[in-house]
Amino acid sequence: MNNYFVEPTFIYGNIDGTNTEVKWLIECLEKNCLVFKKLIGRSRIKDIKTCDCSNGKGFISKVYKVSILFEKKDILPYQVIIKIPCLEKVKQSCTLQKVQSKNAVLNADMVQALHLRECEFYETFTCIKSLKYPDCYGTREWNYGKQEGVIILKYLGDIGVSNDFFKSFNLQQMENLFTQILYLQSHFLTSNDETRLEKFPNLFKPERVVLRQPLFRKNWKLIKSFIDDNLWKNIDEDVQTLIDNIYYIIKYVTQDLLALEGNSYTFVMGDLWNFNILHQKNENNEAGDEICGIIDWQTFHCGSIGSDLARSIVICTDHVLRKEVIEWELLPNYYTNLKNEVESRGSHFKITWDMFKLNYDFCFIVQTFQLLYISGLILHTQNAPIEKGNEIWDARKKETGLKVYHAFNDSIQIAKRLRPEFLIIK
């Protein structure tokens, strides 16, 4: 392999900023990427440059764009992504929240498990037809303190871009996202592997999620400062009770709900929100309607049919589009399309519309907490000013506050209708 490089000793180094060996990266690319294999057959490698492109978005991993430059000047640089799990921001978050790492929702063991789960996805499920995941050229498990975990992925930054957190998806973007969810769920519902639930359980158990209670309370206090008092005062007591009962809510939605007669598990991506959905760039280099990639599969698991739908609806859309169009039109259409797709493949679709909607409603409550969590995280990582006076940030904070308010207001109505004990302090 030394003859692949202008400078033969280059092969013995690491990718800049990492402990990942150049030799391992090149071996994976040569074996698994036809484009790279053709390029390396035409020219030697002159240099390898690395750029951290996490842009503050990665919480439990660093993402590097690796550019491989060739000796022949007529060959453009070959670009690829390497994703490496890390604990840097997790530790910072623990410090800010004043909790010990071992008591945090995300600690070394959990991040290690999440990395392994993503490796398993790319090694096992990249056969799902039409699902827009990036090509994977190699994975390596993370052995904390001994071996750096790595995932090598196709670079999509030249064609794709994610929507900003503060910008709602439009109707066409949501329809295209629903199509991607349908591909994932229909694959599960038409295959016969009975061991999937044991292989891919939800890593976020109720006892782990409950550790976020202090952060939920802190973020809710922040959100209240963004909206009129006459809004939040009407729901404040119920929101506080929902936070108090988060363990019981998570347990019911992730365990008891799924055990109901007539219900069924399905594949859940688990983290469908703005930054993990890449849209085809339009003429203005902004997010267009078409989806070209869904990234970050660490939370992939078997779970509720309503989970990915609720997460994407609650987090990616504004409350007007959600309540007036998506929940009234897109959601029933999705159910019909999924049922038709599963049955067209010769499989039985046992979930009724009422059971489907029940799953969505309960998952909506859970994803409202995720919205609350992510809102605080984004505002913190983007250094949003606390005080008023910045016109752009004032508008963003108000819209975020209204989005969280309406999600909680609707969650309270769901709880009153379906599970009143969620609103009673235990």
The span from the CA of 242 to the CA of 238, in Å, is 6
Quick one: pLDDT band at residue 249, thresholds 50, 70, 90?
very high
Encode 238-273: b = buried (16+ Cβ within 10 Å), e = exposed: bbebbbbbbbbbbbbbbeebbeeeebbbbbbbbbbb
pLDDT of res. 94:
52
Match 């050229």 to its residue by tokens.
137
CATH number of 157-423: 3.90.1200
Report which secondary-structure segment, H or E, holds 140.
Answer: strand 136-140
Q: Domain residues of the chain, as ranges? A: 1-155, 157-423
Tens of pLDDT, residues 133-148: 999 999 999 987 788 9
Tens of pLDDT, residues 41-51: 999 999 999 99
Mean pLDDT, residues 390-411: 97
Quick one: pLDDT band at residue 404, thresholds 50, 70, 90?
very high
Residues 6+ apart with CB under 8 A from 5: 11, 44, 45
Are 303 and 202 in contact by the 8 Å Cβ rule? The answer is: yes
- For residue 222, the one-letter residue type is L
Q: In whole angstroms, how far apart are CA 376 and each of 96, 224, 233, 405? A: 12, 12, 20, 14
Tens of pLDDT, residues 65-123: 999 999 999 999 999 999 999 877 555 555 554 555 555 677 888 999 999 999 999 99
Mean pLDDT, residues 194-207: 88
Q: Is 3 exposed, middle or buried, given 0-12, 13-18 or 19+ CB atoms closer than 10 A? A: exposed
Tens of pLDDT, residues 314-373: 999 999 999 999 999 999 999 999 999 999 999 999 999 999 999 999 999 999 999 999
The single-letter DSSP state of residue 165 is T
Planar angle of CA 86, 92, 95, nearest 5 degrees: 140
Q: Is 34 exposed, middle or buried, given 0-12, 13-18 or 19+ CB atoms closer than 10 A? A: exposed
pTM above 0.85, yes or no: yes
Tens of pLDDT, residues 218-235: 999 999 999 999 999 999
